[in-house]
Structure 1
Amino acid sequence: MVRASSAKLWWNFRRVYSLWGSFMTAKYCSRVHPVAKLVQSSDSHTWKRMLSIRNEVEAVLGWRLTHGDVNLWWDNWSGLGTLGRLYPFPGVEYSGDLLSDFIQNGELDLSPYDDLLPPGLEADMSRLGQRVADIPIWRVATDGFFSFSSAKSLLRPEPVYSDPLLSACWHKHLPFKVSFLAWRVLRGRLPTDDAMARFGHLIVSRCWCCNNPVRETIDHIFYAGDTARAVWGFFMGSLGLRFSHRGLRTLLTGWKRVVSHNRLVAFIICRLPYLILWELWKQRNTCLHSRGSPSVPRVVYGVAKGVAECLFRRWPQEHILPPNWPVILSYIDSTVPRRVVRAVRWDPPPDGSIKLNFSYSEALGGAAALVRNRGGGLCYGLAISADDGFRDFFQVMHRSLEWCLAEGFRSLVLESVLPELKGYVDPTTPSPWVFDSDVSRLRFLCSCASVFVLQCLPQGNLPVAALADWVGDKDGDFIFSNLSDLPPRVRALLVHDDIPSVVFDDYDPP
């Protein structure tokens, strides 16, 4: 979090023209560009924090050129990084060369530095001449804007070993105190007698959860003790769970592997072990500090109450249950999901409209579009081998829309299985910065007609999906104006597209 906060300071310092930014620039970077500035022992603590994170932030900070008033050597305008570090000729740290000084008639001319810079260095200058300052781009996020979550993901070091049980402790609708206690149990971070002994404290150890005096350990409290064994056995027996386990970790691993098609049973099973750990810890503290006696029914009641509260948090209007485990168990057993059969087919567009179906095959590398009228007849087809990745999918959409507009169609229905398509068309939705020019072109074409966007199931988009798979191992692009030109499989799917596909959905009654 501290490193992410430092990254935000550097981001604001580089992107926001503020009084604070002007002050920091005048104090520390009056002669040297901020990216080339070296840390000094007399610098303030805040400035040292910003410099400590500078290189990592600059690696993902790009620029969208509108004026070209970025430093030629120290701003990452080309995507290659800071050229001043790649080509450190003498005195480059004091260079104030701006990129706009090397733009002639809308083209980049770097002939004065032919001996220093690599040939073919390019920049996106399609937006030059706009009345806004050059825009910094946070390349880690799809929208290009800084966020703490993306900064933490960037700066957090990858763990050498990721314990799957630790990540399984955190569940939505489960109280944080319960998840945090489970995390402490698995990490051995509890003030039990065995943990205190590791710090050199001599303690006469006794487990207060058992009638027989036994040494208190974390494993004994939560797994091997009399109360723990009785509680685990009760809940496993009531749910019909049977798997071998030799310790607490193997027990929790067995719970993780339990699968149920009933949404209530699956919801309860993944949270129940951690509620049991919480109630066992409460039982231990009650016996230790309040001199209470061990009670398995009290633990069972607490677990049932926690389960009822979790169900209420998830479905506040549906499952309001008492803290009684037999009642909860009988209720979830009676809530059996039933299977619903639906017929999915290609739906024709309204009168006076034309429908465009799109598909992108990420596995085979193909993008395709089919334009069809209300009767289902083929008007136009396009398939491109996606050598440029997802950008070829935008090219398919652009060319299909251009064909429709050239033919005089002004009422269009766009359909695809991709949920992102509606956001690409909607001008109020931020677009991923990497596809900014493609999305802008798509929105311009859609503004020339009345466009309605639909998302369909894969079964309703089979012909165009088969066309995208077919073109995956081909080279170039293919245009289809007649039904006979299509590949045999695509033609067969298109002809029989009025036959519905059967889709099975599991419906859970409230």
Structure 2
Amino acid sequence: MEDISNTHIVKRWWRFRTQSSLWANFLQNKYCKRAHCVTKVAISSDSHTWKSLVKIRAKIEPHIVWKIRSGNSSFWWDNWTGKGALAKIFPGIGRSAKLPVNFFFDNNSWNFAKLLNFLPMQAAQSIAQITIDEQNGTDFPIWQLSDDGCYTNKSAWHSIRASAPSSPFLNSLWHKRIPFKISFLNWRIFKRKVPFDDIIGKFGTDRRSMCVCCRVPTYETIQHFFVESEIAHQTWSFFGNPLGIRHTDQPIPAIFKKWMDCKYTNNVQKLILQVTPLIICWELWKQRCSCKYGNQRKINIGKILYHGIWTIKSAASKLFPPIRDMARWTEICYTIEKLRPITKWWQVLWEMPPFGTMKMNTDGSYITEKGTAGIGGILRDCRGDLIMAFSITVQRQ
């Protein structure tokens, strides 16, 4: 939520910097009448809106680049070179906020002598190479984080969010063949975000509930319910034994890893090895909730197995439709293990044109981001000998 809120603050800063509006003019006259908005420091008496803009400013300002036209941008504080504000690159030099870029113009070129009065030789030479566009319009901003230079909330959100390192193992929990609610539950299990006593106990509550998954109830923990209980052993063994996976009392991540690291002979078997552990935990969780919060007195192992097979068949039916007609789990495992993909291929040949004629083959491609296209062709005679070839770059109108 904080990242989403900061994204909207970024959007407000972009509009404040780039658009002329009543709101932007009000803030400019109230807080930045004597100083550039990039240099202004927030104080306690400032409004909450302005303080939030100043707080996010340092992260966003480097991504706003000003394209020079009339040169009305600030020479020292606006990022018009693409390398950042010159005042921060050369901190020991005078940094007046009122000095515009066009002070260094000489018609449609740079006044190199003036640049040398303010900047070192290397910096002045670098600036002198910047092209000055037509001076009949004001400088306009470019949002560097998008391909077309226009601001988007998506690009802003990605620039400020603190994303954790990607985990291939956690990514495997989010499978497109199963409902989102199943993946979300398993993510909660791995993050220990499910209401078991050993997890709730870290908040200072001393609860010792008894499990509903064993003939002799014992203290219920997340590890006991999903791995070590009698119902868990029966469920994992039922689904795992026909696939050659023996259930042992290991941590939940280790059990999932054992399933997902199993060798497979085809894509259907790979899918089943990936989704079956997720579905087992889902069915166990449903039965626990029915006993804890519903009218069910004990866990029904038959429902777990039946609904588990049905969900697995639904997930695999698009890849292998005949699985819908298989009722027994052992039959499903045996069939998919023997399943082999059928390889289809066909030969593509260039055919010569009839005697006394010629053939031209053409092709083309289009790059959406740049708006450019290319076309080309080759002309051959009836013997296949090259007569001529061409290629043309086409620009979007």
Pick from 214, 221, 224: which aligns with 2:218? 214
Confirm whether residue 43 of structure 1 aligns to residue 46 of structure 2: yes
Confirm whether residue 145 of structure 1 aligns to residue 150 of structure 2: yes
| Number of aligned residue pairs | 374
Confirm whether residue 108 of structure 1 aligns to residue 113 of structure 2: no
Which whole-Å deviations, capped at 9, do the CAs of 1:372-397 have from their partners, x for residues lacking one?
732376799xxxxxxxxxxxxxxxxx
Q: 1:297 aligns to what?
A: 302
Q: 1:393 aligns to what?
A: none
Pick from 357, 373, 376: which aligns with 2:378? 373
Structure 1 Cα separation of the partners of residues 336 and 326 of structure 2: 14
Deviation at 1:348, TM superposition (A): 10
Deviation at 1:44, TM superposition (A): 1.7
Pick from 51, 56, 69: which aligns with 1:53? 56
For residues 33 and 322 of structure 1, do their structure 2 counterparts lie closer, same or farther at Cα, with a shift above 3 Å needed? farther
**Is the 1:77–1:123 Cα contact (8 Å) retained in structure 2?**
no
For residues 43 and 91 of structure 1, do their structure 2 counterparts lie closer, same or farther at Cα, with a shift above 3 Å needed? farther
**Is the 2:74–2:100 Cα contact (8 Å) retained in structure 1?**
yes
Pick from 87, 90, 103: which aligns with 1:87? 90
**Is the 1:355–1:373 Cα contact (8 Å) retained in structure 2?**
no
Which whole-Å deviations, capped at 9, do the CAs of 1:48-104 have from their partners, x for residues lacking one?
222111111112222333443322212211122111222235762x52222233233
**Is the 2:260–2:274 Cα contact (8 Å) retained in structure 1?**
yes
For residues 354 and 320 of structure 1, do their structure 2 counterparts lie closer, same or farther at Cα, with a shift above 3 Å needed? closer
Q: 1:120 aligns to what?
A: 125
Structure 1 Cα separation of the partners of residues 385 and 66 of structure 2: 46
For residues 347 and 113 of structure 1, do their structure 2 counterparts lie closer, same or farther at Cα, with a shift above 3 Å needed? farther
Identity %: 30
Mapping of 1:32-431 within 5 angstroms? 32-89=35-92, 92=95, 94-117=96-119, 118-122=123-127, 126=131, 128-129=133-134, 133-157=138-162, 159=164, 163-241=167-245, 246-258=250-262, 260=264, 262-290=266-294, 291-310=296-315, 321=324, 326=329, 336-343=340-347, 351=359, 373-375=378-380, 412=391
Structure 1 Cα separation of the partners of residues 282 and 364 of structure 2: 55
Structure 2 Cα separation of the partners of residues 71 and 348 of structure 1: 66
Q: Which runs of 5+ in 2 are unaligned?
A: 366-373
Q: 2:368 aligns to what?
A: none
Structure 2 residue matching 1:30: 3-state secondary structure: coil
Structure 1 Cα separation of the partners of residues 387 and 99 of structure 2: 54
1:184 aligned partner, one-letter code? R
TM-score scaled to structure 2, two decimals?
Answer: 0.78
Structure 2 Cα separation of the partners of residues 345 and 77 of structure 1: 55
Structure 2 Cα separation of the partners of residues 344 and 29 of structure 1: 69
Which whole-Å deviations, capped at 9, do the CAs of 1:403-435 have from their partners, x for residues lacking one?
x8xxxx6xx47xxxxxxxxxxxxxxxxxxxxxx
Deviation at 1:222, TM superposition (A): 1.1
Structure 2 Cα separation of the partners of residues 102 and 286 of structure 1: 77
Structure 1 Cα separation of the partners of residues 135 and 310 of structure 2: 62
Q: Which has the larger radius of gyration?
A: 2
RMSD of equivalent CA atoms: 4.0
Structure 1 Cα separation of the partners of residues 117 and 136 of structure 2: 34
